[in-house]
Chains A and B, each alone.
Chain A
Amino acid sequence: MTGKHGNKVVASVAEALAPLRDGMTIMCGGFGLSGNPEALIRGVVERGVRDLTLVSNNAGNLGKGLATWLKAGIIRKVICSYIGANEDLHTRMASGEVQVEITPQGTLVERMRAAGAGIPAFYTPTGVGTVVEEGKDVREFDGRRYLLERALHGDIALVRAAKCDHFGNLRFWRTARNFNPVMASAAKLSIVECDELVRNGGIDPDDVHLPGIFIHKIIHVPEHENAFEYKTTRKR
């Protein structure tokens, strides 16, 4: 099959990222380093674009993952929920090199869910009476106050899945799912980096976590670093 939902599997990261342009809004899956599309993240740096707006929960950590985009100086703005120990972002925010929009995590993901679902804005109780309320419409429903939040659209979503078939039906592993499926729904072009690529039918329809309608390009990357952020254990 050819056409938009025809042959989605591409042979290289460079081919997958061919539509990437300066100034685009890029959504990148992951909670910290967990569930990062590692090869696509590297590929964006190698491509040499600039002035990107990055939507990501953390924008990297420990110098890894999306912190490499910050080091490469290709980001103009970050929309995230948490900076934490990401020193690469702290320094660039302090110097004014990168503009940072901090959003409550549930609002961040719901803004993208709304974008993917064709909803332009929604009311949420999160952030009422805080700095998040500033400049936003507030409305009372049934005696409780809510903020109006706008949908957040992306040009390209970079997502990571454990398993993918040729149509782009996805399965995720454990907490690596996080923002990945919602980001795939919120961008004009969604590229998945999968650990395992299977034939159509290789995932039972009832076991699909994200239907392939939200995926436009597939790159198969069997090997990943899967870095630990904080390895915590108990004794046997």
Chain B
Amino acid sequence: MTYSTEDMARRAAREIPEGSLVNLGIGLPTQVADYLPEGHAWLHSENGLLGMGPFPYEGDEDPNLINAGKQTVTVLPGGSTFDSASSFAMIRGGHVDLAILGAMQVSTGGDLANWAVPGGKVMGIGGAMDLASGCRRVIAMMQHVTKKGEHKLVAKCDYPLTAVRVVSLVITDLGVFEPTGHGFRVIELAPGITHEHAVRSTGAPLI
């Protein structure tokens, strides 16, 4: 059985050290917050929010209190709001301990591609390049292969890059993998996933 997106989010949450400062990317990584114990870590949102809380209760939504995915959120006691320049100074300046980001491709060297599909509609870069190159540690979360079955863990990315040599761990529906330069070290496989299945699904050597 492959990991569900909930399993992946729960697994990613275990990578977050207590008392750390974390940015969760748009999409799947946003769900990681649901599996963090209360008061475990501080969440940063690059539109200018530190100490981000859960979605508001119905009726308490504020259109001017949002996360980077433009969803309504809350701010916890001890939280703060600030302008975009300060927010990216936190990121670029190495003050954010960990970014968990969605990915399209990750290479054995830790290169990340997550902002554009060749020939596809360009959605834009947003904060992805700043987060990937600025945060102290970067974890990528994604399905192990594309809907067409193409490899996403690869020897070399052929999608436009977001940042070079930044990813230290990849969490997929098949397991958890570490880019080592020449291949991907298997940290764990989802229950029932065979090594052969993972090898077949990966575009680089598994170690």
Show the binding face of A for B, using Cβ within 8 Å: 31-35, 57, 61, 80-84, 90, 93, 102-107, 109-110, 112-113, 124-132, 172-182, 209, 226-236
Contact string against A for B residues 80-98, beta-carbon threshold 8 Å, 1 for contact and 0 otherwise? 0111110110011000000
Known: A61-B70, A129-B163, A234-B55. Contact between A105 and B63, CB under 8 A?
Answer: no
Show the binding face of B for A, using Cβ within 8 Å: 45-49, 54-58, 60-66, 69-73, 75, 81-85, 87-88, 91-92, 111, 121-130, 133-134, 160-164
User: In the complex, how many angstroms separate the beta carbon of A153 from the nearest chain B beta carbon?
Assistant: 15
Decide: B55 and A105 in contact? CB cutoff 8 A: no
Closest 7 pairs between A and B when the two form their complex, measured CB to CB: A106-B88, A106-B130, A129-B164, A82-B124, A176-B64, A82-B126, A229-B70
User: In the complex, how many angstroms separate the beta carbon of B122 from the nearest chain A beta carbon?
Assistant: 7
Which residues does chain B contribute within 8 Å of A173, judged by CB atoms? 64
User: In the complex, how many angstroms separate the beta carbon of B199 from the nearest chain A beta carbon?
Assistant: 28
Which residues does chain A contribute within 8 Å of B84, judged by CB atoms? 31, 57, 105-106, 109, 178-179, 182
Decide: B56 and A182 in contact? CB cutoff 8 A: no
CB-based nearest B residue for A131: B160
Decide: A178 and B47 in contact? CB cutoff 8 A: yes
CB-based nearest B residue for A229: B70
Q: Please report the C-alpha to C-alpha distance between residue A226 and residue B73 in the assembled complex, in whole angstroms.
A: 15
18 contacts between A and B (CB under 8 A): A33-B70, A57-B84, A81-B124, A82-B123, A82-B125, A102-B125, A105-B88, A106-B87, A110-B88, A125-B133, A172-B81, A172-B83, A177-B48, A177-B82, A181-B85, A230-B69, A232-B71, A232-B73
